[in-house]
């Protein structure tokens, strides 16, 4: 058996001195090690990918020069400056805006193909039963730019001074009045039909390929009237080439404060709100949709953009994406029923 002999007192200081350098080294090494996480500590969340990191294509399903083309371009210019990426506009007109809309509905939902459209978007299901896409299900509502009231315009040579004069003359000669639009089911067509149905007169619809051609014919007096977007008609009204009789919006337009609404003039259910907004394909990341809406709201509240939009007759229409989606669903039902009631069809 081994005996436990006490260590001599003189040996202890010597042993301590020999171990000291080793202990100091171990302590120094331990100090350099990263502390281990606690067992309950949650790992850091992976940051969301940034968007956009490359140019974004924005499809406008109507021709260049229309209100649905001009208004989004003004806004996209501001968004490009804010977000540091180019928004490239692609005009893809045809079939009442359905060709361009279909292209976006079928696009990759990666945030790099968007749609700028007007309230005409909500009448298309009633006119095109075989659209190939669902207006309420195949798009994400991103945000509204604003509303663009339509204005009832005639040539000064018509001698019509008020909207009441207009309706009386139209009723006196049933079917003698003609009205222009930029296509069956377009926002200006629907606006004109709602007013005609409320006022109770007959008129002949003449659709044109674009707004410029329609304006030319009305100015020349070859077409009686046109419910034209204010943004397009305003320069001609100010120059005296056109006479404004009424606006289609529920309240008076800031750009034409002296012109009454069709409701004020005594024609119930004749109003029609023309909005312009942005959409993305369904299944687009909520993070991308939220980013776009946040930047859109910031751009719309900037003094520079507010002034530009006011100059072309755009009225503010603050609305969340959820509210915007609800408006689209409501209009699909309401205007679809109206189109059916007056027999509005694509020939």
| Domains identified in the chain, total number | 2
pLDDT of amino acid 347: 64
Q: Does residue 130 share a domain with residue 71?
A: yes
pLDDT digits (tens, 9 = 90+) for 172-210: 999 999 999 988 888 999 999 999 999 999 999 999 988
Backbone angles phi, psi at 139, to 5 degrees: -135, 150
Q: Does residue 279 share a domain with residue 136?
A: yes
Q: Does residue 308 share a domain with residue 331?
A: yes
Residues 6+ apart with CB under 8 A from 104: 59, 113, 114, 115, 139, 279, 280, 281
Tell me if residue 190 falls in helix, strand or coil. helix
CA distance 212 to 124: 23
Q: With bands split at pLDDT 50, 70 and 90, how would you rate the model's confidence at 30?
A: very low
Q: Does residue 299 share a domain with residue 280?
A: yes
In a domain, 257, yes or no: no
Q: Does residue 219 share a domain with residue 83?
A: no
CA-CA distances (angstroms) from residue 158 to 176, 220, 222, 303, 312? 13, 10, 10, 40, 26
Tell me if residue 250 falls in helix, strand or coil. coil
pLDDT of amino acid 20: 42
pLDDT of amino acid 44: 43
In a domain, 29, yes or no: no
In a domain, 230, yes or no: yes
Q: Does residue 313 share a domain with residue 168?
A: no
Q: What angle do CA 92, 95, 101 make, to 5 degrees?
A: 50
Whether residue 36 has pLDDT greater than 50: no
pLDDT of amino acid 297: 97
What does the buried/exposed string (b/e) look like for 24-38 if buried means 16 or more CB atoms within 10 Å of the residue's CB? eeeeeeeeeeeeeee
Last residue of a domain, one of 247, 264, 282: 247
Measured between alpha carbons, how far apart are the two ends of the chain, in Å? Answer: 115
Q: Does residue 131 share a domain with residue 279?
A: yes
In a domain, 33, yes or no: no
pLDDT digits (tens, 9 = 90+) for 247-276: 999 999 999 999 999 999 999 999 999 999
Backbone angles phi, psi at 226, to 5 degrees: -160, 130
Residues 6+ apart with CB under 8 A from 124: 96, 97, 98, 101, 131, 135, 185
The DSSP line for 94-163 is -GGGHHHHHHHHTS-SSSSEEEEEEGGGGTHHHH-TT-SS-TTTSEEEEEEEEE--EEEEE-GGG---SH
Q: Does residue 162 share a domain with residue 143?
A: no
- Tell the burial category of 166 from Cβ atoms under 10 Å away from its Cβ (0-12, 13-18, 19+): buried
Average pLDDT rounded to a whole number, residues 59-64: 91
User: Which residue is listed with tokens 């005609």?
Assistant: 196
Q: Does residue 189 share a domain with residue 134?
A: no
Last residue of a domain, one of 247, 262, 288: 247
Last residue of a domain, one of 232, 247, 262: 247
Q: Does residue 165 share a domain with residue 87?
A: no
CA distance 263 to 268: 6
Q: Does the global pTM surpass 0.95?
A: no
Query: What percentage of the chain carries pLDDT values higher than 70?
Result: 86
In a domain, 23, yes or no: no
Q: With bands split at pLDDT 50, 70 and 90, how would you rate the model's confidence at 240?
A: very high
In a domain, 34, yes or no: no
Q: Which domain holds residue 284?
A: 56-147+274-342
The DSSP line for 291-316 is HHHHHHHHHHTSHHHHHHHHHTTPBP
CATH number at residue 84: 3.40.190.150
Give the containing element (helix H, strand E) for 89: strand 87-91
Q: Does residue 142 share a domain with residue 84?
A: yes
Q: Does residue 166 share a domain with residue 212?
A: yes
In a domain, 11, yes or no: no
CATH number at residue 232: 3.40.190.10
pLDDT of amino acid 345: 84
Q: With bands split at pLDDT 50, 70 and 90, how would you rate the model's confidence at 211?
A: confident
In a domain, 233, yes or no: yes
pLDDT digits (tens, 9 = 90+) for 94-153: 888 899 999 999 999 999 999 999 999 999 999 998 899 999 999 999 999 999 999 999
């Amino acid at each position: 058996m081994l005996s436990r002999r006490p260590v001599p007192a003189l040996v202890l200081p010597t042993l301590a001195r020999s171990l000291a350098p080793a202990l100091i080294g171990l302590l120094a090494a331990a100090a350099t090690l990263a502390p281990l996480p606690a067992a309950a500590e949650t790992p850091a969340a992976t940051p969301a990918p940034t968007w956009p990191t490359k140019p974004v294509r924005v499809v406008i399903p109507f021709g260049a020069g229309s209100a649905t083309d001009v208004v989004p371009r003004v806004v996209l210019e501001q968004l490009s400056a804010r977000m540091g990426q180019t928004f490239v506009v692609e005009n893809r007109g045809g079939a009442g805006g359905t060709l361009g809309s279909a292209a976006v509905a079928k696009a990759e939902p990666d945030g790099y193909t968007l749609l700028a459209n007007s309230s005409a978007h909500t009448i298309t299901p009633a006119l095109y039963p075989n659209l190939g896409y669902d207006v309420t299900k195949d798009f994400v509502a991103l945000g509204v730019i604003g509303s663009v009231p339509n204005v009832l315009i005639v040539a000064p040579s018509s001698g019509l001074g008020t909207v009441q004069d207009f309706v009386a003359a139209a009723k006196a000669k049933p079917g003698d009045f003609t009205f222009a639009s930029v296509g069956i089911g377009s926002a200006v067509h629907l606006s004109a039909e709602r007013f005609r149905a409320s006022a109770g007169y007959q008129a002949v619809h003449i659709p044109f390929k674009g707004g410029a051609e329609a304006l030319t014919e009305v100015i020349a007096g070859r077409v009686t009237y046109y419910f034209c977007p204010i943004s397009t008609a305003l320069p001609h009204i100010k120059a005296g080439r056109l006479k404004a009789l009424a606006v289609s919006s529920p309240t008076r337009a800031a750009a034409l404060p002296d012109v009454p609404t069709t409701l004020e003039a005594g024609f119930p259910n004749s109003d029609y709100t023309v909005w312009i907004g942005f959409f993305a394909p369904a299944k687009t990341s909520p993070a991308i949709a939220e980013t776009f809406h946040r930047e859109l709201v910031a751009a719309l509240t900037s003094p520079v953009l507010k002034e530009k939009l006011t100059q072309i007759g755009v009225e503010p229409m603050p609305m969340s994406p959820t509210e915007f989606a609800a408006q689209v669903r409501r209009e699909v039902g309401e205007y679809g029923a109206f189109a059916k009631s007056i027999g509005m069809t694509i020939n």
